[in-house]
């Protein structure tokens, strides 16, 4: 197995693609673009496989920095793209699904109390990527095995996020990252209880014994890193609870601006989404109360 660093680096860091020359498998080919395409092709060749001989492309989740080059590689190699069924559609029908996704995101921003002018600027910056409108994607489920791969559904960062084991190694995509805490809440607005969903995934991954390889960066010590991520969210949750108690009725956007300051572009969605995820979780545990919608408003318990 060889790791290929692809792309210039998103907020999460440079993407990691992985190639298995004997199995003719590539995991998470990387973000679209001329330079990243060259990096990917060079990396596959350096590992001893011709890019045109790739047969399976496994994509951990629908985000463009992971899925972006999959259609292009699939086309030159006549390879199959395989993804968990809950995310597959967002790549298979990129044209229509992207429009739906933008609509859904904007509705959520409105619900979270983000001001209209900021919502407009987020929408303006959310431009289409160069992906085909339609491409076949094989839909997988938790536990599926093929080509020596085994699929583990690890939702939270996205609804259909999947990790995969190959030859005793575990590829975790953006479920656990070495230096950046994976976004939960803004990274896939389809998930109703994003934090709880993600905690279940972390619990599940914590029982794994394999060496783990993340979707950004080189490797990650799974047990230690999961402890750190749990600690981060516990602290954040206490912080959010304290703010609700101090500020009175608040929206996710108000919490996000206190936590993260000025935000623009995708950071609006990630920041407001994270605040909303914590508020939803606190309300679910009955630490705070959901008091109004349009926008969603939370208050401390009387």
Report the interface residues with Zn ion, using CB under 5 A.
12, 63, 65, 174, 215
ω into 295 cis (within 30 of 0): yes
Which of residues 12 and 87 has its CB atom nearest to Zn ion in the complex?
12
In the complex, minimum distance from the CB of residue 177 to Zn ion, in angstroms, rounded to a whole number: 8
In the complex, minimum distance from the CB of residue 41 to Zn ion, in angstroms, rounded to a whole number: 21
In the complex, minimum distance from the CB of residue 11 to Zn ion, in angstroms, rounded to a whole number: 9
In the complex, minimum distance from the CB of residue 188 to Zn ion, in angstroms, rounded to a whole number: 9
| Residue whose structure tokens are 């969603």 | 296
Among candidate residues 125, 68, 56, 57, the one with its CA nearest the CA of residue 94: 68
In the complex, minimum distance from the CB of residue 183 to Zn ion, in angstroms, rounded to a whole number: 7
Which of residues 87 and 296 has its CB atom nearest to Zn ion in the complex?
87
Which of residues 174 and 254 has its CB atom nearest to Zn ion in the complex?
174
Contacts of 65 (CB under 8 A, 6+ apart): 7, 10, 12, 15, 30, 31
Which of residues 37 and 62 has its CB atom nearest to Zn ion in the complex?
62
Which of residues 113 and 160 has its CB atom nearest to Zn ion in the complex?
160
Contacts of 26 (CB under 8 A, 6+ apart): 17, 18, 19, 20, 44, 54, 56, 57, 58, 73, 79
> Distance (Å, rounded) from C-alpha 223 to C-alpha 205?
8
From residue 103, alpha-carbon distances to 85, 96, 270, 275 in Å are 21, 11, 16, 20
Contacts of 117 (CB under 8 A, 6+ apart): none
Do the Cβ atoms of 219 and 213 come closer than 8 Å?
yes
From residue 147, alpha-carbon distances to 2, 167, 180, 251 in Å are 17, 10, 31, 47
In the complex, minimum distance from the CB of residue 63 to Zn ion, in angstroms, rounded to a whole number: 4
Which of residues 24 and 63 has its CB atom nearest to Zn ion in the complex?
63
Which of residues 215 and 271 has its CB atom nearest to Zn ion in the complex?
215
Do the Cβ atoms of 179 and 13 come closer than 8 Å?
yes
In the complex, minimum distance from the CB of residue 264 to Zn ion, in angstroms, rounded to a whole number: 19
């Amino acid at each position: 197995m060889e790791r290929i660093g692809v792309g210039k680096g998103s907020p999460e860091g440079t993407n990691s693609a992985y190639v298995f020359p004997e199995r003719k498998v590539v995991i998470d080919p990387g973000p679209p673009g001329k330079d990243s395409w060259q990096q990917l092709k060079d990396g596959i060749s350096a590992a001893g496989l011709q890019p045109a001989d790739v047969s399976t492309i496994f994509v951990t989740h629908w985000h463009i920095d992971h899925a972006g080059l999959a259609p292009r590689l699939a086309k030159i190699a006549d390879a199959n793209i395989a993804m968990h069924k809950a995310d597959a559609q967002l790549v298979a029908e990129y044209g229509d699904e992207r429009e739906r996704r933008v609509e859904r995101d904007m509705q959520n921003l409105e619900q979270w109390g983000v001001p209209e002018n900021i919502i407009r600027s987020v929408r303006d910056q959310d431009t289409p990527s160069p992906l085909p409108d339609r491409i076949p994607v094989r839909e997988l489920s938790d536990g599926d095995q093929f080509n020596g791969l085994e699929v583990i559904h690890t939702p939270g960062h996205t609804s259909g996020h999947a990790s995969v084991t190959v030859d005793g190694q575990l590829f975790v995509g953006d479920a656990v990252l070495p230096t950046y805490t994976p976004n939960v809440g803004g990274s896939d607005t389809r998930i109703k209880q994003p934090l709880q969903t993600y905690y279940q995934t972390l619990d599940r991954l914590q029982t794994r014994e394999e060496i783990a390889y993340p979707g950004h960066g080189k490797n990650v010590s799974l047990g230690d890193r999961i402890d750190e991520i749990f600690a981060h969210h516990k602290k954040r949750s206490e912080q959010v609870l304290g703010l609700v108690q101090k500020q009175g009725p608040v929206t996710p956007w108000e919490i996000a601006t206190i936590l993260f300051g000025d935000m623009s572009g995708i950071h609006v969605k990630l920041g407001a989404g994270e605040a909303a995820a914590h508020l939803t979780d606190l309300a679910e545990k009955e630490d705070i109360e959901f008091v109004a919608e349009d926008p969603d408003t939370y208050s401390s318990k009387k």
